[in-house]
């Protein structure tokens, strides 16, 4: 069986973890919206509301949107992975911990997301991110 038969989040090989390169992102949050066969039914509405919130609150420098094919957690969807980025990279240890079902503030899943949840979800994560940044500096 080739790796394309597994959602990469559930693939047994660490090499399946995608290398994320988003050249525009330096610091801030990346909302990775699932567009897999289950979550994808709601992804357009979720992304539209997220973009509307980002534009309305002037968060373009701090909150970024990307997508994912499937996290392998379809039964919990619609799913979004919220990553904290610093110095142009996400915390790969946090992503790996999350894949192992361990909690880590730098990579958190949001499950059963509805479009109308996006403003609250973005504000909550951004507040937590900013507080963590202040603590670290
Ligand atoms: S379709 Fe979203 S986790 Fe599989």
pLDDT in tens, 43-89: 999 999 999 999 999 999 999 999 888 988 999 999 999 999 998 88
Give the burial string for 80-103 (b: 16+ CB within 10 Å, else e): bbbbbbbeeebbeebbeebbeeee
Residue with tokens 């897999």: 36
The set of residues, in sequence order, having a beta carbon less than 8 Å from that of 111 and lying 6+ positions away, is 73, 76, 77, 78, 79
Q: Is the shortest distance between the CB of 28 and ligand 1 below 6 Å?
A: no
Number of Cβ within 10 Å of residue 32's Cβ equals 22
Q: Is the shortest distance between the CB of 73 and ligand 1 below 6 Å?
A: yes
Q: Is the shortest distance between the CB of 79 and ligand 1 below 6 Å?
A: yes
In a domain, 12, yes or no: no
In a domain, 126, yes or no: yes
- What is the signed CA dihedral for 52, 64, 93, 1, rounded to 10 degrees? 90
In a domain, 14, yes or no: no
In a domain, 137, yes or no: no
Instruction: Please provide the average confidence, as pLDDT, over all residues in the chain.
Output: 84
Q: Is the shortest distance between the CB of 111 and ligand 1 below 6 Å?
A: no
Select from 6, 31, 34 the residue to mutate for testing ligand 1; criterion: most ligand atoms less than 8 Å from CB: 34
In a domain, 13, yes or no: no
Tokens of 17: 């973890």
Please report the pLDDT score of residue 95 as a whole number: 87
CATH number, residue 116: 3.40.30.10
Say how many domains are in the chain: 1
- Average pLDDT for residues 22-44, to the nearest whole number? 88
Please report the pLDDT score of residue 23 as a whole number: 58
In a domain, 64, yes or no: yes
Give the separation between CA 40 and CA 129, rounded to whole angstroms. Answer: 27
Report pTM: 0.82
- Average pLDDT for residues 92-103, to the nearest whole number? 87
In a domain, 4, yes or no: no
Question: Which atom of ligand 1 is nearest the CA belonging to 79?
Answer: 2
In a domain, 62, yes or no: yes
Domain residues for the domain of 128 are 21-132
């Amino acid at each position: 069986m080739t790796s394309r038969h597994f959602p990469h989040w559930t693939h047994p090989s660490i090499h399946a973890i995608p290398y994320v390169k988003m050249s525009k992102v330096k610091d801030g949050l990346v909302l990775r919206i699932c567009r897999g066969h289950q979550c994808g039914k709601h992804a357009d509405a979720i992304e539209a509301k997220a973009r509307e919130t980002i534009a309305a609150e002037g968060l373009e420098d701090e909150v970024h949107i990307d997508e994912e094919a499937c996290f392998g957690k379809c039964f919990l969807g619609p799913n979004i992975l919220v990553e904290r980025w610093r110095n142009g990279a996400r915390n790969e240890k946090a992503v790996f911990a999350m894949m192992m079902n361990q909690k880590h503030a730098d990579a958190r899943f949001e499950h059963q997301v509805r479009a109308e949840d996006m403003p609250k979800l973005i504000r909550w994560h951004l507040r937590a991110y900013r507080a963590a940044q202040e603590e670290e500096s």
